[in-house]
Structure 1
Amino acid sequence: MTSREGDQAVGNDVEPVRHCGFVGIVGRPNVGKSTLLNRLLGMKLSIVSRKPQTTRHRVLGVSTSGTTQIVYVDTPGMHGREPRALNRVLNRSADAVLRDMDVLLFVVDGQRWEADDDLVLEKLKTLSCPVIAVVNKVDRIPDKAALLPVLEKLSKRLDFAAIVPVSAAKGSNVEALEREILQRLPESDVFFYPEEQVTDRSERFLVAELIREQLMEALGQEVPYSATVSVEADAREEGRRRIHAVIWVERPGQKAIVIGQGGRQLKQIGQRARAGIETLLGEHVYLDLWVKVRSGWADDERALRTLGYDET
């Protein structure tokens, strides 16, 4: 019996062929990888901010539709400078994703190529899986004719499976990118995750990330990179969810900045984070937010492991 395209024959029945695979999203910091993940999933999963190196963890997002399941893996931005243990851990986390992906999305900024793009490109040259170049932020290029030399130059850097210009922020041409991914997704007898599952991350992790997102947005350049968040307790009391979280900083002066005069800065961070957390959890939340000092945590690999940064 001959099966029709997209189907396979089993006995006298015809069952649809399933396609399932892992798709890694890689690139240097601040090219829009997390924004792209959220757009591909149709929901906010990875936190985003205007500051580079917002993403510190691999974040897995599952998109299941009909006979297809795509497991996207967002990664920290790969970068050459490693002044602290945290930077080294972030690079190792991103490097680990390269090993076991079925497809890789190499995200670049359509307006700017940097040394860290070359660093990522060198790593991709050693791989055998298909690599799709995703030229992001094209909405910021008024003259689309200016894109042509960018795409032509990129095509000479590596034998990409495809080159797709997109705007992750606006959603432009993302459907074309999805089609390119689907063409390269392997067949599979089973899905890797239940159809209703959207991530392998716990609610505690997602809550901590939403708080850190507000830290990134509210504060200047230095403090957010010396701060991390851990959820210490999560319980239901008197009909509402009560979450106790700690913002860890490295120095007393940073603690004072996060708290702000009269506690106003911390209150604002908490209010904005709580709104996002309630949207995520679908219930009322009481957020109990504290700031504590843990000297040198970003330079201490043992401390990083206790704070959830060991992902190799």
Structure 2
Amino acid sequence: MNINAIKESFINVSGNIYDSEFINLANVEHNQIHLDDRTLFLDEAEKSVLNKDKIENYDNTIYVYRYKDAYGIICDLPIEEYNNGNVRCHELVLSDTIQGMLSNLHGYNCEVAPVLLAHKKSIDYQKIINSGKYTKRFEFKDLDMYVFCGDAADEIIKQFSDVKNLYVADGHHRLYTTSLCGFKSSVLSCVVSFDYLNIMPIHRIIPDVKENEFNKAKEFICRRFDVLPGETPLCKGRIRINYRNESFVVKLIELNSDAFWNNDVYRLNTQIISQAFRIFNTDRLSYASDSELKGEDYSLSQNDVLIETYPVDKDEFIESIDKKCIMPPKSTWFTPKFPSFLVFKKYQ
């Protein structure tokens, strides 16, 4: 596997840590953040605050980090590794999303949210840190960053020479977009061992379901499926349906087929969402990770149907991808994800 040091990069040294989903692209001019009228989802006051975050420039750099007891690196991935199949994917991409991303690439000059790529090899990052070959160390909340430049970065890169494949945990659209882009040949990447990653479930919410509609769906489910009490623990093949004050667990029908057909999300989509609730356009659904659902700020409306799922096992995830199976969208949620707006990679 070929990975590269980041030719021209910046690290946000303000001490502010932003959510991994915050922002993917930004502009840097004269070694300062310069968000302008192209950034539509932020108002002028918000952009003014962000533009005051201080950044430092580092060239030919690999960043080693420790974040919530997980170790990994921030590097540059040549898109050729994705094009030739060495970076393995598990989700389809959406054309509308790709079109928007392609357009945005022209309006900015820095990536600020790395794609998340996993590998099987165990690497002793603490040993790399203990070598003391880093140029500088930064301490943030729950996160330590070590800047390795030049020859020290090359030594880290060599440890990936025998890694045959990387697995996309997050960033399918950004990788595919770069593969279509004529002026951008690499992707800012967070590369981490499966040892340090957890796969969390992504739950489904069907909004605004009337009581009579829910009762019809429940009647169908009770006729066709094994239904268990709501407090029954979830495991592979079981989902929990919650509506108002009602909760019950449904055992999905196991199919006499391969791992793809018996993927929980695929079975949920085909057996429950489409057949029981008669929803054939998943655009109607909304999604919540386990941490979001348990967060203080998250709440459901009275007529929302919440469908809780069980996470995909790591071995099942790897086996499915190695067999070139494509999982349904929103099948996995990997944690921990590296923060956004912390490392900036200049690409034009």
- Report the TM-score, using the length of structure 2 for normalisation: 0.23
Q: Which has the higher helix share?
A: 1
Q: Which has the higher strand share?
A: 2
- Report the TM-score, using the length of structure 1 for normalisation: 0.25
